[in-house]
Chain A
């Protein structure tokens, strides 16, 4: 039986997630033995864009060219896995999605963008807004063991079991002092998906939410808690949109849960 084929692609992002795959140095040979890597521009030459079993896509969609590329990948791939918070939630490039794109572009590039097609971009959006996404491996960047575990599970016909609960749970596993409660720090742990081993709070740094929202993120309650602690509405919205800017301000303040239907 032929080995399952995969492709690794990058849209708008820092390429850190793809780099983290290449950084799986101890497992790279095992990965190469288990799958046939058809396309991975960052890692190899001689790439072939053909039908593949699994596509791993990093980055947000921010222009028409990428949208077309993603639709093409989706058509060729059996399973499409979003890797990283950009691909899953828009990531840092979506943090100013509430500012009209034309204004943002003008602010950053001034007149230099005139007649340059490179600047033809729209508000960055997660893959799920364009195509059906079968699974997300979140993180900024993704955690190497989770990528390997996901590949191994998918090879055996299972959706990977990665943590679905909030970071607080993992932070408790680490027996950390609660930075939100005991130190009144602005911590997004209660609404952020676990899986990083509570890396920041374990080093006395509050969670910035880089893994994106937990399945049913109660932003409304988090906002209330932070307002009570004296943080301003503007500050709260700014912090919350750093990694999950595609969740609208309306959702952030409303008395409702922000749900995602992707495992």
Chain B
């Protein structure tokens, strides 16, 4: 861990240098009020540095919405298809919650059966994080994901005229050593401004969720009628899951070609709010109604994952709140379960 500072005017040079380590991806503005990860086009002005949440989070770089796992052939057997697996990718502009979400996914995909599709890509990805200022939907602080001490190669904190450059890995060190002229040592003023930034950001959180004792409370609230009320509003459209940086469920399906000899095995993002998710042979469904499916999602984030890995699976990015057409609000719902007055 070392810290440097870089004047903002050097950002183009910094990004140019990043290009030596692979393809650089940045958040860009999309439509009226959305952002998307896209390949850097060389224009610094096109980077949405103020973007808080892209429509789809960074997970799409390791874990594709729909991808071929392998191709099969009656005579030649299986061929693993992972065309862009060996591509070096640099993510510039991921925030603290995003970096925490990668750790959350790493835990899952490194489980009993290591997921090579995920890790082959993951190891080739360079993480360059940037600081942010929360909006009314951000609750990462409540989820303990508002700051990062590890999990990145470089982290840029916006201090006005310059960035504080946090170097978090040896690859990060290589990157700053590639262009030593643009960095300066931190000084007293940097420290002062950094602490000011931290305090200001800390005070900016409007959305707060008390997570203490939440797993127990959720246990007690298992039969709360609110689950079914929310289930009646839920469209099962899948948006909350698709945009969630820590949702990882997938579905596997085989397709066959007209020759009846060759085909492909696919996997595709799935969602526990879908009817088919808990549907088994014979038409039996473990979660028959929508309220039960919604409850399952919440309980998995705040209870089951925590039991396995010691922290909640939610990083508080606010994407599911923004993306729900029916205005179902994760935080409001959990507040209601805690007995706090809300509009859920």
Chain B contacts for A255, CB-based, 8 A: 232
Of all chain A residues, the one with the shortest Cβ separation from B36 is: A175
Measured CA separation A218–B253 after assembly (Å): 26
Chain B contacts for A178, CB-based, 8 A: 34, 55, 239, 323, 325
A152 at the interface (CB under 8 A from B): yes
Which residues of B from 227 to 264 have beta carbons under 8 Å from A? 232-239, 242-243, 253-260, 263
For residue A226, give the distance in angstroms from its CB to the closest CB of chain B. Answer: 10
Of all chain A residues, the one with the shortest Cβ separation from B32 is: A182
Query: Which candidate, B77-85, B270-278, B335-343, is the interface stretch facing chain A?
Result: B270-278
B55 close to A172 (CB less than 8 A) = yes
A222 at the interface (CB under 8 A from B): yes
Binary per-residue interface labels of chain A (192-225) against chain B in the complex, 1 for a CB within 8 Å, 0 otherwise:
0000000000001000000000111010111011
B236 close to A177 (CB less than 8 A) = no
B323 close to A165 (CB less than 8 A) = no
Interface size on B, residues (CB 8 A): 42
Binary per-residue interface labels of chain A (221-242) against chain B in the complex, 1 for a CB within 8 Å, 0 otherwise:
1101100000000000000000
A172 close to B56 (CB less than 8 A) = yes
Contact with B66, one of A155, A173, A190 (Cβ below 8 angstroms): A173
Known: A152-B255, A177-B32. Is A221-B235 also a contact (CB below 8 A)? yes
Which residues of A from 115 to 173 have beta carbons under 8 Å from B? 148-149, 151-153, 155-156, 158, 161, 164-169, 172-173
Of all chain B residues, the one with the shortest Cβ separation from A220 is: B232
Contact with A30, one of B236, B259, B323 (Cβ below 8 angstroms): B259
Of all chain A residues, the one with the shortest Cβ separation from B326 is: A221
Binary per-residue interface labels of chain A (64-97) against chain B in the complex, 1 for a CB within 8 Å, 0 otherwise:
0000000000000000000000000000000000
A19 at the interface (CB under 8 A from B): no
Chain B contacts for A190, CB-based, 8 A: 235, 237, 325-326
For residue B119, give the distance in angstroms from its CB to the closest CB of chain A. Answer: 22
Chain A contacts for B11, CB-based, 8 A: none
A180 close to B242 (CB less than 8 A) = no
B61 at the interface (CB under 8 A from A): no
B33 close to A173 (CB less than 8 A) = no
- The interface centre, meaning the residue of A151, A172, A183 with most chain B CB atoms within 10 A of its CB, is A172
- The interface centre, meaning the residue of A155, A169, A255 with most chain B CB atoms within 10 A of its CB, is A169
For residue A174, give the distance in angstroms from its CB to the closest CB of chain B. Answer: 9
B54 at the interface (CB under 8 A from A): yes
B32 close to A183 (CB less than 8 A) = yes
A31 close to B34 (CB less than 8 A) = no
A181 at the interface (CB under 8 A from B): yes
B310 at the interface (CB under 8 A from A): no
B242 close to A181 (CB less than 8 A) = no
B209 at the interface (CB under 8 A from A): no
Chain B contacts for A177, CB-based, 8 A: 30-34, 55
B238 close to A165 (CB less than 8 A) = yes
B32 close to A218 (CB less than 8 A) = no
A49 at the interface (CB under 8 A from B): no
Measured CA separation A132–B50 after assembly (Å): 55
Binary per-residue interface labels of chain B (46-70) against chain A in the complex, 1 for a CB within 8 Å, 0 otherwise:
0000000011100010000110000
B274 close to A164 (CB less than 8 A) = yes
A27 at the interface (CB under 8 A from B): yes
For residue A253, give the distance in angstroms from its CB to the closest CB of chain B. Answer: 14
For residue B333, give the distance in angstroms from its CB to the closest CB of chain A. Answer: 16
B205 at the interface (CB under 8 A from A): no
A7 at the interface (CB under 8 A from B): no
Measured CA separation A175–B235 after assembly (Å): 19
Contact with B237, one of A148, A189, A224 (Cβ below 8 angstroms): A189
For residue B323, give the distance in angstroms from its CB to the closest CB of chain A. Answer: 7
B269 at the interface (CB under 8 A from A): yes
Chain B contacts for A158, CB-based, 8 A: 256
For residue B60, give the distance in angstroms from its CB to the closest CB of chain A. Answer: 8
Chain B contacts for A181, CB-based, 8 A: 322-323, 325
Measured CA separation A1–B31 after assembly (Å): 56
Known: A169-B242, A180-B325, A182-B33. Is A156-B260 also a contact (CB below 8 A)? yes
A27 close to B55 (CB less than 8 A) = no
A218 close to B34 (CB less than 8 A) = no
B238 close to A34 (CB less than 8 A) = no
Which residues of B from 251 to 306 have beta carbons under 8 Å from A? 253-260, 263, 269, 271, 274-276, 290
Chain B contacts for A182, CB-based, 8 A: 31-34
For residue B111, give the distance in angstroms from its CB to the closest CB of chain A. Answer: 25
Chain B contacts for A167, CB-based, 8 A: 237
Contact with A164, one of B60, B66, B276, B323 (Cβ below 8 angstroms): B276
A-B contact pairs, 9 of them (CB 8 A): A34-B260, A166-B238, A168-B238, A169-B238, A172-B238, A173-B65, A177-B31, A178-B55, A190-B235
* The 10 nearest A-B residue pairs measured at CB: A177-B31, A172-B242, A168-B237, A169-B238, A177-B34, A190-B235, A173-B65, A190-B237, A30-B258, A166-B237
**Given A172-B65, A178-B55, 15 further pairs, Cβ under 8 A:** A27-B258, A152-B260, A161-B255, A165-B237, A166-B237, A173-B66, A175-B30, A177-B34, A178-B323, A181-B322, A190-B326, A218-B232, A218-B233, A221-B326, A255-B232
Q: Chain A: residues with CB nearer than 8 A to chain B?
A: 27, 30-31, 33-34, 148-149, 151-153, 155-156, 158, 161, 164-169, 172-173, 175-178, 180-183, 189-191, 204, 214-216, 218, 220-222, 224-225, 255, 257
